[in-house]
Amino acid sequence: MNKLLYLLIFIAFSVFVSCGTKENKSSNNDVNSTNTTTETQDPKMNKGIGPITSLILDETIDSVMVKKGKDVFDAKCTACHKVDKTYIGPSPKGILERRSPEFVMNMILNPEKMIAENELTKQMVAEFNGAIMANQNLTEEEARAVLEYFRTL
Ligand code: HEC
């Protein structure tokens, strides 16, 4: 009688353990597939890493900001970026067709962390033969103006 009881407990325990393992496995898979979607499948969903978590652009372009952004870009970015061609870094022309506004701002304001941790930026570093975007210490307002200028290119 005792033996039968032990056997029943053993069976109940085994079923319990195997169910638990299955559940863990499937929830891990779910997490992985979510990451793939945001990080690689649609690059424009990627907001990057940095101070800007949400930015909705106005439909009309602000020409005062554009002028200021061009001045900042010409002074601090053209050592590595040219508008009309790939240089040490990529051309910013049409950048919002492949990157979110948040991503662009975070890359300008926080390139060190983007290069170390963002999958899309890591791919770019490889593409640009290991050249590293330098932090130009722009204020958030200057970075926003540069982004507005990029919208006109
Ligand atoms: C020392 C060279 C250098 C300077 C200066 C520089 N960048 Fe970059 N930038 C790069 C490189 C190289 C990349 C590609 C990623 C990498 O390899 O780090 C890049 C990438 C970027 C990206 C992301 C492009 C994409 O498609 O993901 C943006 C946006 C950008 N730079 C904006 C700027 C702005 C704005 C300035 C001026 C404030 C600037 N950069 C100054 C070298 C530079």
- Does 33 score more than 60 pLDDT? no
Count Cα atoms within 13 angstroms, Cβ side, for 150. 26
Reported as a single tens digit per residue, the pLDDT across 54-99 is 999 999 999 999 999 999 999 999 999 999 999 999 999 999 999 9
Residue 83 token pair: 């508008």
pLDDT at 42: 84
* Distance from C-alpha of 20 to C-alpha of 14, rounded to nearest angstrom: 10
Q: Which residues line ligand 1 (CB under 6 A)?
A: 73, 76-77, 79-81, 88-90, 95, 99, 104, 107-108, 115, 121, 124-125, 128, 131-134, 136, 138, 146
Q: How far apart are CA 126 and CA 109, in angstroms?
A: 21
- pLDDT, the chain, mean: 85
Give mean pLDDT, residues 116-126: 97
CA-closest residue to ligand 1 atom 7: 133
The Å distance, Cα 25 to ligand 1 centre, comes to 40
Greater pLDDT, 117 or 38: 117
Q: Long-range contacts for 117-120 (Cβ within 8 Å, ≥24 apart)?
A: 117/49, 118/46, 118/48, 118/49, 119/39, 119/40, 119/46, 120/39, 120/40, 120/43, 120/46, 120/48
- pLDDT tens column, 43-57: 999 999 999 999 999
Q: 46, 76, 81: which to mutate for ligand 1, most atoms within 8 A of CB? A: 81
Which of these, 93, 89, 94, lies nearest to 107 by C-alpha position?
89
On whether the CB atoms of residues 48 and 107 are closer than 8 A, the answer is yes
Percent of the chain past pLDDT 70, that is, above it, reads 73
Give the HSE-up count for residue 49: Cα atoms under 13 Å, Cβ half-sphere.
Answer: 13
